[in-house]
Amino acid sequence: MLAGVDMSFITYLLNGISLGSVYSIIALGYTMVYGIAKMLNFAHGDVIMVGGYIIFTIMSTLGLNPILGVLIAIILCTLLGMTIERIAYKPLRRAPSLAVLITAIGVSYLLQNLALLIFGAEAKSFTSVIPVKPLSLAGGRLSISGETLVTIPLCILIMTSLTIFIKKSKIGRGMVAVSEDKDAAVLMGINVNKTIAITFAIGSALAAVASALMFSTYTNLSSTSGAMPGIKAFVAAVFGGIGSIPGAMIGGILLGVIEILSRAYISTQLADAIVFLILIIVLLVKPTGILGKKIQEKV
């Protein structure tokens, strides 16, 4: 069945979908926070870095089970996200968007420098937390890594679960109401502050999951390891239509595939530039992204 197929292309494609799935999970945090709180949390990428260091410390220093490390990272990153929202963003709820943006950048640099002080400038070697063996197909000509086998289905599961949660649960419906109109949501008895805090908690928990998946594949961990994945995930969210959960997944996977194929067939140095160039082209054609909806501004 796969005799006449270019195995290297399939390998690149699967790697691209796997990387794109990680971008999608990170992008879900961006798109939920923007959709509900109407702000861009540029510290989100650094929460990924924090999650990586938590898992690394639990595995390397304490010698505990990797899965336990991931669970602890999810809990601590969730608390970190809620703390950031409470201390840095909640006081700026009605402040100009520029003030919130500058605060987000400040939180990002704070987390990076704290990690630098605690763990040092030398990059750490991250050990994979995924205990799945590679799958060999086509007589050994196609090998699919355990990370890929876990990442792609997990991304689909997370997106499906999140969609069901938002559509079916009381909290999820409250999130939709807050995203549509905060003042009307207050009149309906919805606690807007609590809803936004839960949104940050979910996004930060997803960042911890993404950190486990990402650093299991790309094993170098440093204080700036979350910066570029965070930016690319934001690009993925914009690409798919920021505020849209399916859009975040589609944008992330497309971004990952474009990046890996660009590295393989064009240039490793130009791959990131190609990704951002395609984003510019897409936004020129469809400014709201692939699944984004045009928002009517109230005056």
Residue 291 belongs to some domain of the structure: no
In sequence order, which residues have a C-beta less than 8 Å from that of residue 219 and are 6 or more positions away?
A: 125, 126, 127, 128
Instruction: Using pLDDT thresholds of 50, 70 and 90, give the confidence band for residue 271.
Output: confident
Residue 82 belongs to some domain of the structure: yes
The arithmetic mean of pLDDT across residues 277-296, rounded, is 76
How high is the pLDDT of residue 140?
A: 66
Residue 127 belongs to some domain of the structure: yes
Residue 261 belongs to some domain of the structure: yes
How high is the pLDDT of residue 298?
A: 46
Instruction: Using pLDDT thresholds of 50, 70 and 90, give the confidence band for residue 2.
Output: low
pLDDT tens digits for 201-254?
999 999 999 999 999 988 889 999 998 998 888 888 888 888 788 888 899 999
Comparing 44-48, 177-181, 294-298, the range with the smallest average pLDDT is: 294-298
Number of domains in the chain: 1
Closest among 204, 267, 218 to 18, alpha carbons compared: 218
Q: Kindly state the tokens that stand for 191.
A: 């606690």
**Residue 5, pLDDT above cutoff 60:** no
Q: 29: domain range?
A: 11-131+147-285
Please report, for the domain that includes residue 94, its CATH number: 1.10.3470
Residue 200 belongs to some domain of the structure: yes
139 Rama class: left (phi>0) / alpha (psi -120 to 50) / beta: left
Closest among 125, 110, 129 to 50, alpha carbons compared: 110
Angstrom distance (rounded) from CA 262 to CA 269 = 9
Residue 23 belongs to some domain of the structure: yes
How high is the pLDDT of residue 297?
A: 46
**Residue 292, pLDDT above cutoff 90:** no
φ/ψ (deg, to 5) at 135: -105, 125
How high is the pLDDT of residue 46?
A: 93
Residue 2 belongs to some domain of the structure: no
pLDDT tens digits for 106-144?
999 999 999 999 998 888 888 888 888 888 776 767 788
Residue 213 belongs to some domain of the structure: yes
